[in-house]
Amino acid sequence: MVDFNLTDEQKALQKKAREFAIQEIIPVSRKYDESGEFPYEIYQKAFEQGLMNTIFPREVGGPGLGILENCLIVEETAAADPGITTSLFDNCLGAEPIIIGGTAEQKERFLKPLTEELKFIAFATSEPGMGSDVAGIATTARLENNDIILNGRKMWITNGGVASFMSTFVRLEGTKRHKGITGVVIPMDLEGIRLGKPIPKMGHKASNTVRISLDNVRVPKDHILGEPGNGFPIAMKTFAHTRPTIGAFATGMARAAMEYAIAYSKRREAFESKLSDFQSIQFMIAEMKMHYDAARLLTWFSAWEADQGRDNTISASIAKAFASDYGMKTASDAVQIFGGYGYIKTYLIEKLFRDAKLYQIYEGTSQIQRMIIGRYMLSKYDPHFDETFT
Ligand SMILES: Cc1cc2nc3c(=O)[nH]c(=O)nc-3n(C[C@H](O)[C@H](O)[C@H](O)COP(=O)(O)OP(=O)(O)OC[C@H]3O[C@@H](n4cnc5c(N)ncnc54)[C@H](O)[C@@H]3O)c2cc1C
């Protein structure tokens, strides 16, 4: 049986997130985009209302919700403001490697404090010289008695400047590529950690993004997730679990862009008609709806697969790439429908257009998603017809 109905609990969660987005985020969205300040007040309220840390397990005081529920929340808040939502969701990204690879004791030690009061946990694989090629991580870890000593730089780290903890991936000294990658949770007040200033960005300005230097940072060995050198699969499974949510981000952003474009096209007149009377505008809006529905279904399917405990690597890449690429197209077409008013700061569509681009870049670019899907198709895909038919 296939069922596309949401449960009453899921509908209630979706409604709560939509009300939060309308009442708490939209009114201050422009203000934070202009100031670039970190909107603590919004996160405090989201924390109190149970809209943060949604995937944290019940054993550590979290609500223990699934990735599908996370997608429902994120679609609503990203429709209101993608940047504010990037930092809202980031605790789930930072927590995911611990949920996947941590012991019960590590979950209690690192995640429980985040459920007791508003605190942040960042996630860091990227470095100044590497983003897509995670096996190319250069930050080193040297094992020394009961500690590991970390040296290197992490780059573009969301919430890095406000976080109490960071789930990061480093390389055991003397190893190459995938084999030496090690996951480790770092308290951010350790000696040797230096934070850069918030990095100025095209969009997502309310979200904190920094460079982090690690100079002889001494971390107890019991902060390592799993065995030293076995971190690469934890990082990849983390992405499989978080990419559906990026699909939901892009879907929510595209939904808002589509709705703004529809409303504007019904108001604006040209050639003694409403814009919405022109077939070329109607076709653009029809395409937006086709892509929105498809992106949402792909996203929900991948989230559902992950929540079932299945390997959702491929569906996550499909959902992320499709929703991000067509989200960008929808934002661009919406600006087109607004004409000159789409290009200036009068309407929120200008901001959505700037925000949309990031979805094609972070958590694996659209090219990297295609690489993952392409490799699967050429090695593991099971054809329906016998190859002798060809
Ligand atoms: C605002 C923001 C927030 C971020 N937050 C985080 C965070 O919290 N934690 C974190 O770890 N990282 C974060 N990132 C980093 C982000 O994940 C990387 O920027 C992204 O993975 C791309 O890496 P790169 O920038 O090094 O690009 P590169 O890897 O240098 O790629 C450059 C271009 O080449 C293409 N390319 C690379 N390899 C291939 C290939 N094999 N085939 C075809 N094309 C290829 C890419 O698709 C891209 O178009 C963030 C980035 C930004 C901008």
Q: Express each pLDDT in 157-166 by its tens digit.
A: 999 999 999 9
Tokens of 100: 């996947």
Residues with CB under 6 A from ligand 1: 123-126, 130-132, 156-158, 201, 204, 209, 358, 361-365, 367-368, 371
Which residues lie below 8 Å from residue 125, measured CB to CB, with a gap of 6+?
131, 134, 137, 154, 168, 169, 235
Ligand 1 pocket mutation, candidates 362, 368, 370, criterion most atoms within 8 A of CB? 362
Interval 55-60 mean pLDDT: 96
Tokens of 31: 């203000």
Among candidate residues 210, 229, 248, the one where a domain is terminated: 229
Number of domains within the chain = 3
Tokens of 291: 């892509």
Examine the pLDDT at 277 and tell me if it is beyond 80: yes
Pair 239, 371 in one domain: yes
Establish if 44 belongs to a structural domain.
Answer: yes
> How many angstroms is it from 297 CA to the middle of ligand 1?
26
**Closest approach atom of ligand 1 to CA 204:** 1
> How many angstroms is it from 5 CA to the middle of ligand 1?
36
Establish if 389 belongs to a structural domain.
Answer: no
Pair 144, 216 in one domain: yes
Q: Which domain holds residue 171?
A: 121-229
Among candidate residues 182, 197, 229, the one where a domain is terminated: 229
Q: How many residues does the chain have?
A: 390
**Cβ(217)–Cβ(239) under 8 Å?**
no
Examine the pLDDT at 213 and tell me if it is beyond 80: yes
Establish if 385 belongs to a structural domain.
Answer: no
Pair 140, 169 in one domain: yes
| 288-343: pLDDT as tens digits | 999 999 999 999 999 999 999 999 999 999 999 999 999 999 999 999 999 999 99
What is the Cα 273 distance to its own chain's centre?
A: 41
Mean pLDDT rounded to a whole number for the chain: 97
Quote the pLDDT of residue 389: 79
Establish if 386 belongs to a structural domain.
Answer: no
Nearest CA to ligand 1 atom 37: 132
Establish if 373 belongs to a structural domain.
Answer: yes
- pTM, to two decimals: 0.96
DSSP 231-250: -HHHHHHHHHHHHHHHHHHH
Report the CATH number that the domain containing residue 143 is assigned in CATH.
2.40.110.10
Among candidate residues 65, 94, 116, the one where a domain is terminated: 116
Report the CATH number that the domain containing residue 358 is assigned in CATH.
1.20.140.10
Interval 221-249 mean pLDDT: 96
Q: pLDDT band at residue 387, thresholds of 50, 70 and 90? A: confident
Establish if 2 belongs to a structural domain.
Answer: no
**Closest approach atom of ligand 1 to CA 90:** 8
Q: Which residues are catalytic?
A: 363
Establish if 3 belongs to a structural domain.
Answer: no
Region of 50 on the Ramachandran plot (φ > 0 left; ψ -120 to 50 alpha; else beta): left
Pair 301, 337 in one domain: yes
